[in-house]
Every structure is written in C-alpha cells, then in structure tokens.
Structure 1
Amino acid sequence: MLNIGFITLFSFVLVYLNIIILNEEILILICFVAFCWICTNKVGKTIAYDLENRSLTIKNSLKVSLNNLLKTLINVSKLHSDYEIITSKFKILHNYYIQLGTTFVNNLPKYEIAESQKKCLKKFLFVYNLEKQTTKLLVLILSEKLKKLSQIQKLCGEDLQEKRFMCFNKIVLREYMEII
C-alpha cells in the first residue's frame, strides 16, 4: 500500500498548484476516504472475521435447511408411494367386500330355505312322533275299552245268560269262519 506521508505530500502539491480546489465537498470526500481507509486497515480483520463467522453460520443454516428439505421431500415421496399402495389395497378390499356381499345376497335365499327345511323337518318329526304316540295311546285306550267290552259281554253272555249277547257271539263267530 501507499505510504500515508507520500499521499499527503502529493495532495499538498496538487492543492498548491490549484489542480484540486479545496471546498466543503472535497474536504468531506477526503475525510470519508480517510475514514474508510483507516477502518479497513485497523478494524478490517475484526470485520472480516465477523463477516466470515456470519457467512459460515448462514452456510451451515442453508445446509441444514436443504438437508431438512431433502428429508421432507423424501418423506413426501415415500408417503405418496405409500398412499398409492394403500389406495390400491383399499380398491382390492372394496372388490372383496363387493364379492362377499354378492355371495351373501345370492346364498341368503338358499340358506333361508335350508334353515326353514330344517325347522320344518324338526316339526314334521315332532308331529310324526306325536302321531305315533297318539296312535299307541288310542290303541291302548281302544284295547282297554274292548277288553272292558269283552268282559261286559262275557259277563252278560255267559254269567247272566242274556240272549242278545249270546246271539251276537254266534254272528261274530260265523263272520270269522267265513273270512277264514
């Protein structure tokens, strides 16, 4: 850099030769240039260090921000692909539910018919058993009545010697003989 003394001497020569006219604007310009030059020489290293730290902080912040943005984009891409997979699985599930509903609706009448047949079969079996029991009961009641009737007929025919009952036995005996 140039020596300050040389610059000062050269400035005085230019002023003396009236090449540079000293007025307020020129003096303010000279003061501003001197201030800037002194600041850069004396405080320049501190400012450079501060600006360097700030630039590193901004650079690190930008790297972190870009890494976060990259991670976010990767996650969004993964979510998008997962969403497509889930959507396709829901479509498959929808088709299965449609098939299940259709099968259920188609087989429901068959199921109802089978269930009603089972119920009717149980009822018919119950009625059949009831008829058999009733038939047995009627046979027992009739046999008891016939037994009592035959006892009364025997009593009236043999013991009491009632003629109508004796004649009745002969008619029944003749009918049996004709059948045989």
Structure 2
Amino acid sequence: MLNLSIVIGVSLILISKNIILLNEETLILLCFITFCYLGFTKLKDSIVKDFEDQKNKIQVELFESFELISNSVSINLKWQKIFPILITNFANLEIHLKNLSSRMVIQLPFIWNYDIRKKYLKKLVFTKRLEQQISKLIILLLIKKIERVTFLKYFYSTKIKIAPFKCNSQILLRQYIETI
C-alpha cells in the first residue's frame, strides 16, 4: 500500500501549486475517501465475512429456486403427458352424460306417469273406503228411519186405531199372500 506520508506530501504540493482547489466539495471528497480507506482497512474482515454470508445465502436461494423450477417443469411435463388422456376422458364423459340425459328425458314421462298412477291409486282406494263407509252410514240411517216408521205405524194401528192404517196393513198382508 501507499505510505500515508507520501500521499499527504503529494497532496500538499498539489494544493500549494493550485492544482487541487480546497473548497467544500474537495474537502467532502477527501473526507469520503479517507472514510472509505479507513473503513476498508479496519473493517475489511467483517465486510468480507458479511459478503461471504450474503454470497452463501444467494447461492442457497439460487439452488432452492432451481429445485423449485425443475420440480415445476417436471410436473408440467407430467401434466402434458396426462392432458391428452384427460381430454379423451372428458370427451367420453360428455358422451356418457348426453346418453344418460337423453335416456332420462325419455323415461321422465313414464316416471311421472307412474308417480301420478301411484297417487291416484291411493286416492281411489281412499275414495272406495269412503264410499263403503258412506253406504254403511246410509244403510244405518235408512234402517233407523224404517224402524221409526214401522214403530209409528204399529203405534198408530194398535194404540190410536186409525182406520187408514188398518186398511193399509190389510192391503199389504194381501200383497204378501199373493206374492207367496
């Protein structure tokens, strides 16, 4: 390295001959150069260590990124091999889906018809049971009415003794005898 006394001597000669002007910019430049020289000479071991650490970090990141890129490229290559198979599979799936939907559309009226038949069958069974119950009820009501009528007829003919009722019973008795 240059001797510090030689550098100072040469710079004093240049300043005295007005080759180097001493103004603020020059003083700042001299301070900066001095700072850099002292920083480099005194801190060079720590700076070298820091640069080595940064170099190692950058190297590790480069290797990791290279691994990621190589993995993604290999995955992309696999997908490119699988992609034509997927396209044919999706085409086959589309054909099957169209067949299924067309058959479903064809069968839909039958299914709907079956559901309607099932519902109407239940309604018809319910209506049949309802008719049976109503017919039983009507028969019971008629029996009650006939019972009342016969009771009243008996009452009028035996207790009150109204002549038209006696006559009616005799006419009915004659009709029964004739039918026998």
Runs of 4+ in 1 over 6 A off after TM superposition: none
Q: Distance in 1 between matches of 2:178 and 2:86?
A: 94
For structure 2, list consecutive stretches of 5 or more residues without a partner in the other structure.
1-65
Q: 2:174, 2:95 → 1: CA distance?
A: 85
Matched, 1:94 2:94: yes
2:121 corresponds in structure 1 to: 121
Q: Percent of pairs identical after alignment?
A: 27
| 2:109 equivalent in structure 1 | 109
Deviations 1:118-170 (A, max 9, x none): 11111111111111111111100110010000000000012211111122222
The aligned residue for residue 170 of structure 1 is 170
Give the 3 Å change call, closer, same or farther, for CA 106–130 of structure 1 in structure 2.
Answer: same
Separation of aligned partners in 2, 1:92 and 1:178 = 90
Would the alpha carbon gap of residues 177 and 96 (structure 1) be closer, same or farther in structure 2, given more than 3 Å must change?
farther
Tell me the TM-score normalised to structure 2 length: 0.56
- Partner deviation per Cα, 1:81-138 (whole Å, 9 max, x = no partner): 2111111111121112112211110111001111111111111111111111111111
Amino acid at match of 1:156: Y
RMSD (Å), alpha carbons: 2.4
Alpha-carbon distance in 2 for matches of 1:156, 1:109: 68
AA of the residue aligned to 1:112: W
Number of the residue aligned with 2:25: none
TM-score by length of 1: 0.56
Q: How many residues align?
A: 114
2:143 is aligned to: 143
Classify 1:101/1:167 alpha carbon distance in 2 versus 1 (closer, same or farther; 3 Å).
Answer: same
- For residue 161 of structure 2, give the secondary structure of its aligned residue in structure 1: coil
Which whole-Å CA distance do the structure 1 matches of 2:110 and 2:137 have between them? 40
Give the direction of change, closer, same or farther, for the CA distance of 1:178–1:121 in structure 2 (3 Å limit): farther
